[in-house]
Structure 1
Amino acid sequence: MTPEQEQADAAEQQEQQEQEQLDPAEAERLRLRAEEISANATVTDVVGINAWLNGEETSVALELAKGNIVLVDFWTYTCINCVRTLPFLTAWDEKYRDHGLVIIGIHSPEFAFEERLENVQGAIDEYDIEYLVAIDNDHVSFRTFQGARRFWPRKYLIGPTPDGSPMGVLYDHIGEGDYHETEIAIRQALEAGGRDLSNVPIGVEVEAPSRRGQPTGQTRELYMGWRRNSGRPYAGQDAYYLSSLGAVTQFVDVASSQREHNRWYLEGLWQIEEESIVHARQTDDLEDYVALIIRGRTVNLVLTAADNGQPYDVFVEIDGRWLFPNEAGAHIQWDDEGRSFIRVTENDLYRLLFLPEWSEHELKLSSNSDQFRLFAFTFGSYVGGE
């Protein structure tokens, strides 16, 4: 960037800040209007937030008092379903921000390590998120909005409703997909508020994954920790359930022919934790492993970095061999012996497989490190990508 461009950007930012600084009388008017909106609302507001990123603290009622429409998105950065929706959210933010759309991404972590602000900020930077992100580490907003049936991702479009409520849900969408329908709902809400979108074409230039021709039977999301497995079994061995939380257990894998789909299997010494399983010893020859049958095109795994900050490697095989380049996910590397592996350096979602077509395989992961900690596998079957 040239000095002239930097100077122009600085001037633009200063002008924007001056415009955003309200005089006391206007600020008081908005506060009173927001209180009135809240008192007559038919939906909760954002509550219990630990921190705000990408901007100053706000509320749905205050944004509505300013004449805006609010899109609330519940997400967490290791959820692959959430990650797939982010390009659409960032595109809508860029497209409709100046027309009265305010997006609040409420980050409600699924795992404890996702509570760290630096991890969330890293995801914000990675995915070019410029809209507000509210940190909901205690799941207060997550529970208040969604009640007993809670999902990642989930979007609520909030504004004045046709029945006269000044603050209600105009549109509610669970999971991925229906992006055109969601954008139409956004436009209708903005236009109902008097925004002129006649020169704003509908649609965003984002490659939406397609489910055309997707076979049935994709592997479900698989969790490794005790808390999830105590309610819905994902582990394929009785030894897991005969053990206890915090116990270090010697596992003996079953024969390959005995493995069931939608289960995972262990070999070697492992410790069972609340949200994860941990390789409980250092080894020399990758003799301890996790194995499972997978169906789909893409495989992702949530892992955490070593406690001492040193990288460690996890080796990845399918059907008893190392990966070919056209099967590899974004994080796969190969060593001098041609072995496929990922290098774990941070707490994140790691992309293991991106197969040429939907298929069934036996996946095996092994590491010599006693820092190898697994949280959850996720899978995809998209024709157009992940």
Structure 2
Amino acid sequence: MNKNHFTIIIGIISMISIIGYVTTTSALSSNAYDKLLKKSVLSKDNGESIQKIITGPNISDDMGVNNDTILQFKMAPEFHKIEEGINTNDSIPITIASSKGKVVLVNFWTYSCINVLRTLPYLIDWDAKYSDSGLVIVGIHTPEFEFEKNAENVKSAVQRYGIKYPVLQDNAYGTWNAYENNYWPRMYLVDGQGYIRYDKIGEGDYDDTEKLIQSLLNERNTDKDVKNIDFNNNTFSYDNNNEIQNNSKNNIISFLAQPVDFSKIKTPELYFGNQSSRSALGNPQGFHLGQTINYFLPLSPSLSMSNSSIKPNTIYLEGQWKNNPDNVELQSSTGRILLSYSAKSVNMVVGVNSSDKSQSQVTVYEDNSLISNKSKGIDIGNNSKFIANEPRLYNIVNHQSYSSGNHSLLIDIKGKGFQAYVFTFG
């Protein structure tokens, strides 16, 4: 970060503070800040995860918004070009106007993004705790990948993750554009008068977000002579998530609620396709949109990662793969994927060829052996395998702790039609 950029950022923060917003950021050195500018949110512009400065309103514990201060806030746009609703009543449309008088949490998400999925345990918890007190959570599902436009796929994800609140399908980006959004996830808190009182980009700060929810509910309920909510009534600690992990019967939610140390994730998101203007493929054959390429791994038969031609944080393929805009699709009956990475967990967004309803059997190796029970992800079954039979994010590695070095990951695939989109890490 150079001096001019730093000066601009300080100026912006000062302006935001003047109009009544509180900006929170860590006191980081330039190098540390650059490293953290990656991981808690996915940007649509460049397909990379980044950490954004978080802004929140200056809401008093016991004071509402009055006519003198309301001009600080923007009216929440209405939901636009919604194609379908899930967990909704067709006779009672979910709109900002129909929710007036309640506190609305508008959450932009897409079901295969790990940054989004790690927020779900908290959203589900808030919905259970505060819906009877006037909180309405609305998930605006704006897709990143083409398969996320399919309503049945979204419904399957809603069921898989146990989402009970309304989800609106925003395939045409109508609501996304109305809110001038560019990130997954992003949360807006809208007060009972329809004003946006909080704008949160990315993961984290769950405790602060819940306190703001409580404050807005207390503000709303004071006007209605409803007893205020206990401001300190948190179901669990957002710092360590131990209660979620130990008490949850849902293995998926337990995984998503695990603490993540972004400073220890050394491998960035790696895309197979070129929709973000770059592909992470390291094969000398390269990426050629629309072509089917016969790839070869630059390895000895022992699968040794000591080969100097293997670069960390780079994807290598073996087999015949068609180069699609946002994925590579296996055209041969078998194929392999090789990666040297540094993180605690590895996720892979996988698709299937919908035209022939194909499914693939996938075997996962790590550090030259079948992945162990201690290190396997929640989607890995017996014999270090999983079946890719629906388009979604699969957690394939989940170590108990971070390590300082790199791991080698080899994915062996049997079954034509396997589509690889992106690796993400935790």
Fold-level match, TM-score > 0.5?
yes
* Residue ranges of structure 1 left out of the alignment (5+ in a row): 1-36, 161-165, 381-386
Q: 227, 232, 239: which is aligned to 2:278? A: 232
Deviations 1:67-99 (A, max 9, x none): 101100011111122111111111111111111
Aligned to 1:252: 296
Counterparts of 1:158 and 1:262, CA distance in 2? 40
- Are 2:82 and 1:49 aligned? yes
Q: Is the CA contact 1:278–1:373 (under 8 Å) kept in the aligned structure 2?
A: yes
Aligned to 2:178: 144
- Are 2:259 and 1:210 aligned? yes
Q: Is the CA contact 1:218–1:379 (under 8 Å) kept in the aligned structure 2?
A: no
Q: Give the 3-state SS of the residue equivalent to 2:400 in structure 1.
A: strand
Aligned to 1:16: none
Aligned to 2:363: 315
The alpha-carbon distance between structure 1 residues 379 and 235, as it changes in their structure 2 partners (threshold 3 A), is: same
- Are 2:420 and 1:374 aligned? yes
Counterparts of 2:423 and 2:135, CA distance in 1? 34
Counterparts of 1:272 and 1:99, CA distance in 2? 50
- 1:280-319 to structure 2, matched below 5 A, reads 280-283=331-334, 288-307=335-354, 308-319=356-367
Q: 203, 211, 214: which is aligned to 1:187? A: 214
Q: Give the 3-state SS of the residue equivalent to 2:81 in structure 1.
A: coil
Q: Is the CA contact 2:215–2:231 (under 8 Å) kept in the aligned structure 1?
A: no
- 1:81-230 to structure 2, matched below 5 A, reads 81-147=115-181, 150-159=182-191, 166-193=193-220, 194=222, 195-199=226-230, 201-205=232-236, 206-207=244-245, 208-211=257-260, 216-228=264-276
Counterparts of 1:41 and 1:63, CA distance in 2? 16
Tell me the TM-score normalised to structure 1 length: 0.77
Aligned to 2:29: none
Q: Is the CA contact 1:300–1:378 (under 8 Å) kept in the aligned structure 2?
A: yes
Counterparts of 2:210 and 2:145, CA distance in 1? 30
Which AA in structure 1 matches 2:385?
F
Q: Is the CA contact 2:76–2:96 (under 8 Å) kept in the aligned structure 1?
A: no
Aligned to 2:94: 58
Counterparts of 1:60 and 1:323, CA distance in 2? 48
Counterparts of 2:81 and 2:189, CA distance in 1? 20
User: Max radius of gyration: which structure?
Assistant: 1
- Percent identical: 32
Counterparts of 1:156 and 1:199, CA distance in 2? 22
Deviation at 1:377, TM superposition (A): 1.2
Counterparts of 1:215 and 1:280, CA distance in 2? 38
Q: Is the CA contact 1:311–1:343 (under 8 Å) kept in the aligned structure 2?
A: yes
Aligned to 1:268: 319
Counterparts of 2:351 and 2:140, CA distance in 1? 22
- Are 2:362 and 1:362 aligned? no
Counterparts of 1:305 and 1:372, CA distance in 2? 5
Deviation at 1:259, TM superposition (A): 2.3
Deviations 1:116-175 (A, max 9, x none): 11111112122221111100111221232134xx11111010126xxxxx4332111112
Aligned to 2:46: none
Q: Is the CA contact 2:349–2:393 (under 8 Å) kept in the aligned structure 1?
A: yes
- Are 2:389 and 1:345 aligned? yes
Tell me the TM-score normalised to structure 2 length: 0.70
Counterparts of 1:152 and 1:118, CA distance in 2? 21
Deviation at 1:279, TM superposition (A): 1.2
Question: Larger helix proportion, structure 1 or 2?
Answer: 1
The alpha-carbon distance between structure 1 residues 86 and 118, as it changes in their structure 2 partners (threshold 3 A), is: same
Which AA in structure 2 matches 1:273?
N
Aligned to 1:324: 372
Q: Give the 3-state SS of the residue equivalent to 1:330 in structure 2.
A: coil
Deviation at 1:43, TM superposition (A): 3.5
Deviation at 1:267, TM superposition (A): 2.1
Q: Is the CA contact 1:158–1:169 (under 8 Å) kept in the aligned structure 2?
A: yes
Which AA in structure 2 matches 1:295?
S
Q: Give me the CA root mean square deviation.
A: 2.2
Q: Give the 3-state SS of the residue equivalent to 1:146 in structure 2.
A: coil
The alpha-carbon distance between structure 1 residues 41 and 357, as it changes in their structure 2 partners (threshold 3 A), is: closer
Query: Aligned residue pairs: how many?
Result: 320
